[in-house]
Every structure is written in C-alpha cells, then in structure tokens.
Structure 1
Amino acid sequence: RCAASGRSMQETLAEAGQMLSGLAGAAGLVVAPKSEGLVRHIEFVGLGPGRALVVLVTADGRVENRVIEVPAGLPPSALTQASNYLNARLAGRSLDEAKLSVAGEITANRTALDALTNQVVEAGLATWAGGGGGSLIIRGQAKLLQNLDQASRVGEIQALFERLEAQETVLRLLELAQRGEGVQIFIGAESGLFDSAGLSMVVAPFRNGQEKIVGAIGVIGPTRINYGRVIPVVDYTARVIGRLLG
C-alpha cells in the first residue's frame, strides 16, 4: 500500500517517527519489522577504531543500517573485501540462506579471506540473521538535549543514544511493547533502557495482517511530556501502521 503512494514502508515509518517527535516534543522511535525479503546489496563502512556501519538494501528497496564492532586495527581494505565477498553470495537470497552458506564456507576454510575479514563477514550477517527484532528508527534526538543545563545530563542522553544502537535494545523494545494490549508507559528506569528518573517512554506495538506483533512505535522524552496528548496519538499511529502492513 505504501508503494502505491510512492513511498517505501521504511520511509513511511520514518515519517511517522518524525511526526510523533514533533507532536510530543520528544524523540520519536520506531522498531521497523525485520526484513524477510531477498537481499540486493550489503556494504561495510568504517566509523572509526573498532566500529563499522553495515548498510543493507533489500530487493524491495528497504534500507537498514546497523553498527557493529570490528577487530581493532582493521584496515579499510578488509571492509571492502567483506562487502565484495557477501555481495557475490547474497544476490537473490534471504539473509538466513546466506548465513548458512557463508557459515559453511568459513567452517570449511573456503572463503579465501583472512581471519579478520572473516570476523567482519560473520558479524555483519549475525546482526540481522536469526534475530527476532528489526531495525530501529529514531527521529528528533535533539529534542532530548534541549534545555539541559547540567553536563552530566547531556552525557546521560548521549549514552542512551549509544545504547539504542544495539540490537539488544531493539529486542528489548519489542518485549516491552508486547507486555500488554495497546500503549505501554515506562517512567524512569522501569524500561531498563535508561537509568534516569527524568525520562519516560510511551510505546505501542503494531501488528501485521496475521495479527502478529512485528514492530513498535513511540516516544522517549522527559517525564513532564503531555501524556494526555501523546498516548492517543501513539495508539492511533500504531493502528494505522498495522493497517498499512495488513
């Protein structure tokens, strides 16, 4: 249905997160459904010592990004090698199929890649394949940094952003959203995602046509956000996304 309007589901979800951010005066977040489609392209981009960005493009045009840890001192050429190696084997396959094939080659030592590059390949596939979560879209991060006078609070918010990058956080958000029907509210450290007593999260799951929970949408903001306005908007947005997925 999104394709009929000229937008991908990923773009629609990002727009929904941006809308929630604007309405709530907080950061909007969306756990996008896990990609089950065929892979068109994958690329590794260095982010600095010990970290790399994995960019995945599916056959239906969806783009997902993940940050992974890579061996210290890894040369840029290893990231290029890992990208070329996977692209030669991913075309026309799902991630789970590719993971099985590549794992077999690595075990049999048939990859013609060095040990460090093999680690990058395995980490890149592991961040998607076999997991229950999808990708996390965050919009309006700057709103959490507004009106913070204490440097300690700024560091706390920055640490939260780093935590949100982890795949474990995506799975945790889905778990929290499934705790009950409709909108869930977590104040302070209740969610386990942040330690601050000054932050809260409002999140709701959305379902596909088979009524299976496949993602979640909500906001993270100060505990003083207007819950009376935010809760119905989060609930309505989750229902609309569910209809689009149906």
Structure 2
Amino acid sequence: MNAAKTPLRHATLVIDDGIAVFTHQRPEARNALSPELLEDYADMLDAVERDSSVRALVLMGSGGSFCAGGDLKSLKAAQAQPPDAIRRRVMNAHAWMQRLRNLEMPVIAAVDGAAIGAGFSIALAADFIVASSRALFSLSFAKVGLVPDLGAAYILPRLVGLATAKELVLSARRIDANEAKRLGIVYAIHAPDRLAEETTAFARRFVAGPREAMGFSKRLLNMSFESPYALLAELEGATQALASSLPYHAASIAAFLDGQSAPYDWDRQPGV
C-alpha cells in the first residue's frame, strides 16, 4: 500500500498500511506547541476518524524532541489577553484533547527527548508511551506559575496515584525514561535510533485486531473511574450486543470452529 502523506502547518500526517503517524515538525523550537500545531491536531483527528483503514495512531516529534510544551512567545502574548480569552483557548484545546484520548483505536506516543509541560500532557493522553532512553518528562507548569493543562491533572493520578501525581506536579521536576517506566507511565524503552521503528512495529501488532470492539473496550475503560457499576454494566451490554453483530466476531468464531488460528492473537505475533 502506498503511504498517504498530508503536510499540515507545523506537523505531518502519514497513513500507511493501517497506521497513522502524526509528527510534530518544529525541531528548531523543540516542537513547542504553537497555535498552528494545536490546529494540526484537530485536523489530524478529522482525517484519522474518517479513514476506516486506520487501526492505530502514533504521535511523535522530529529532531530529537517530542514536545517542549507551550511556545514561550505565545505564552508571552497571552499575558496581554483577558482571563476569559485564556480560558476559551484552553477549553478549545480540550475539545480535541478529549477526542484524542477517546479515539477508538490504540494511540501510542513515541517520546524521544523532551516531553515537557503540555507536551507531557499530550503524551499522557495516549494509551501507551514508548520512550527512547534519552526521554525526559516534566509537568513544568509550576516553574512558570501555571497549573497543569490539557488533562494532565485528570490522567496522571489515575496512572501513578494521587500522592505521586502531587509530587510530580508541585515539584515540577524532571524524570527520565527509567523512572517513568517504574511509575507505570512508560510502556517500553528503546534506543533513540530504534524508537520510530520499534514504535511502528508495536502499532502494527494492533492492525489485525477488531477495530470496533477495541474502540468500545477503550471507551469503557476510560469511563471506569467515574462511572457507577450499573452504568458500565448497561454500556457493556449495549456494546457487546453491537460487537457480536459485526463481521469480525463471526469470522473469528468460524476460524476457531474450523481449527484455524485466530485473526488476532497477540501471543502468537512476533514480539517487539
């Protein structure tokens, strides 16, 4: 299959063989979040959601950094804005951040170098963070007198527990890839020159999976911390009924009954 490459403003989107790779393209600014890059995220999500061939999304940065957080020039300009304008800007970003977090496919952040401030927040919105050995993470907001944004205050305590989340936010300290893995933030660590290849290989393992059922499962898990059991039971019943009616389920059952391998079997795929 030929790769489809879409140049955006400060990013690129490449869709190839079921995998979408979205790359921040501001290496001269360590891929800091410009207004244009924020718009690129919304456009990327539009493209990925309407392309039924996409089974996994990879987020990455160019030039040895994932994302250094908010662009300092933009933050300086924001000081002249009234508080309500800043609030609207943050809420507009949350519109696509919620779409990213709930995207009905695996989302993998390939973090090389800095994932600082809002860059760390974006990585946390992924289902898996695959890091290079030189990756650095920091919720650095306290250093500039701000509070965590783009959902970090929601996601981080669910990953590491409330006390550790408070320590990371209030200290604003940096953690390396090894500590992030010990805390349960990072899924795997690779050498910098192998990160892109290894992350793509990891994403490829999901391509044969049931897109709809995996999407339903992800949404249920994302809702599990704040939903009562009765609601999740109702949603489980509804999504199970829908998944049972889809061709993927019928094909999988037929394969089992015929003594064939399942179309999606993680344990039998080559390891990464």
Greater strand share, structure number: 1
Q: What TM-score results when the alignment is normalised by the length of structure 2?
A: 0.26
Greater helix share, structure number: 2
Higher relative contact order (CA closer than 8 Å, sequence separation 6+): 1
